[in-house]
């Protein structure tokens, strides 16, 4: 039986942390442990820590998963472990889908009554640290509930719950809803994505370029079977957090640093965009915190990229530079 993982401790936040605090802690930890930022000798160690950080965020950033995790708790999990644990591997996943998950009560409370209604859909060729790399601890609680990786490559992962919606819905009983998590770059580019459904069926989904958070995509006939035929599958788009950009609607925000002389004299800088770096003119006398707007460079062509400029003071100066700064001080 896998050891209990304290996701709050992994991210360095308290159990009452807000969504914003969790997101901030995740970004900080992801930068700290990202394997690409460490020498080869430490890559294996950092990869494991990076996976833990990703897994912790996948749970704590999702209201349903966090509620289930908190409901189970360390004591509940350890009591369950002392009782023999759950089946692992394919057998364990099968039990999770069929309602055999030992924590089904938590599922029922937070999923609306059907403890076996969660599914995990993953894209072919997903990121390096996708749902398949989630720990045995994660699988023992959530089965195949899945989660998104903010640093994955092309593709996405989605999860949700099937079956009839609550009374009053205009949807048919066979319709399903699921969440499709995309990397920011994939949402910007759009195009065709190959997804594998729980039964093993591969389907191709065509995403429009610049698809935004919360947009629903209907896949006709891919829901649950009913006497009148299959229902439909509705995918709700969720865009994963990004290390470089902050997303607001269809607009993007990115910080860029300037050297003092560029800020004072003006000049040309390169600004990162989702389509590659672009040249931007900085006016003379630019102050720290000034924002530049690049229209059409947001998530979609309708969005903009807002660049926040920060002046970076050199940490070390050679003799000539010190003399020039001293002279500037004297004449200012």
Average pLDDT estimate for 154-158: 40
Euclidean distance between the first and the last CA atom of the chain, given in angstroms as a whole number: 69
Look at 38-42, 51-55, 127-131, 186-190 and tell me which has the smallest mean pLDDT: 127-131
77 lies in a domain?
yes
Among 221, 239, 257, residue at a domain's last position:
239
Paired strand residues for 204: 194
Which segment, 21-30, 61-70, 152-161, 201-210, is predicted with the most confidence on average? 21-30
Whether the per-residue pLDDT at 272 is higher than 50: the answer is yes
Positive or negative: CA dihedral 58, 60, 61, 65: positive
Average pLDDT estimate for 12-20: 93
How many angstroms separate the CA atoms of 250 and 248, rounded?
Answer: 6
Q: How far is CA 71 from CA 18, 27, 104, 107, 317, in A?
A: 17, 26, 11, 10, 55
Among 239, 267, 288, residue at a domain's last position:
239
Question: Is 56 in the same domain as 177?
Answer: yes
Tally of CB atoms within 10 A around 238: 20
Q: What is the pLDDT of residue 143?
A: 55
Question: Is 117 in the same domain as 214?
Answer: yes
Domain membership of residue 105 as a residue range: 7-239
Among 217, 239, 261, residue at a domain's last position:
239
Q: What is the pLDDT of residue 16?
A: 92
CB 127 within 8 A of CB 51: no
CATH number at residue 320: 2.60.260.20
Q: What is the pLDDT of residue 134?
A: 76
164-195 tens-digit pLDDT: 222 223 345 678 888 888 889 989 999 888 87
Task: State the total domains in the chain.
Answer: 2
Q: What is the gyration radius of the CA atoms in the chain, in angstroms?
A: 24
Question: Is 130 in the same domain as 267?
Answer: no
In percent, the amount of the chain with pLDDT more than 70 equals 72
Q: What is the pLDDT of residue 222?
A: 82
In percent, the amount of the chain with pLDDT more than 90 equals 26
* Residue scoring higher pLDDT (332 or 14): 14
The DSSP-derived string for 238-307 is: EEPP-SS-EEETTEEEEEEEE-HHHHHH-EEEEE--TT--EEEEE-TTPPTT-EEEEET-SSSTT-EEEE
pLDDT band per the 50, 70, 90 thresholds, residue 235:
confident
Q: What is the pLDDT of residue 197?
A: 66
């Amino acid at each position: 039986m896998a050891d209990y993982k304290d996701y709050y401790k992994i991210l360095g936040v308290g159990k009452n942390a807000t969504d914003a605090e969790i997101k901030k802690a995740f970004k900080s930890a992801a930068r700290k442990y990202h394997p690409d930022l460490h020498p080869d000798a430490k890559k294996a160690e950092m990869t494991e820590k990076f996976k833990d950080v990703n897994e912790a965020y996948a749970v704590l950033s999702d209201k349903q998963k966090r509620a289930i995790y908190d409901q189970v708790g360390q004591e509940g999990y350890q009591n369950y472990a002392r009782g023999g644990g759950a089946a692992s591997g394919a057998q364990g996943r099968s039990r999770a889908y069929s309602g055999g998950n030992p924590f089904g009560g938590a599922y029922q409370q937070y999923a609306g009554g059907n403890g076996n209604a969660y599914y995990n859909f993953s894209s072919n060729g997903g990121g390096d640290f996708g749902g398949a790399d989630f720990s045995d601890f994660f699988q023992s609680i959530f089965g195949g509930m899945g989660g998104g990786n903010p640093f994955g490559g092309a593709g996405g992962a989605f999860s949700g719950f099937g079956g009839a919606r609550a009374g009053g819905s205009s949807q048919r009983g066979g319709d399903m809803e699921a969440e499709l998590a995309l990397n920011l770059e994939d949402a910007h580019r759009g195009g065709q994505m190959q997804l594998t459904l729980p039964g093993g069926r591969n389907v191709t989904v065509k995403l429009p370029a610049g698809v935004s958070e919360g947009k629903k995509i209907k896949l006709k006939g891919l829901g649950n079977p009913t006497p009148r035929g299959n229902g439909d599958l509705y995918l709700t788009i969720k865009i994963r957090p990004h290390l470089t950009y902050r997303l607001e609607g269809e607009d993007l925000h990115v910080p860029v640093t300037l050297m003092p002389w560029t800020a004072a004299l003006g000049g040309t800088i390169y600004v990162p965009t989702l389509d590659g770096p672009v040249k931007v003119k900085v006016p003379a006398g630019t102050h720290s915190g000034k924002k530049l707007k690049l229209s059409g460079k947001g998530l979609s062509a309708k969005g903009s990229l807002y660049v926040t400029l920060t002046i970076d003071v050199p940490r070390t100066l050679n003799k000539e530079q010190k003399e020039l700064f001293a002279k500037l001080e004297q004449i200012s």
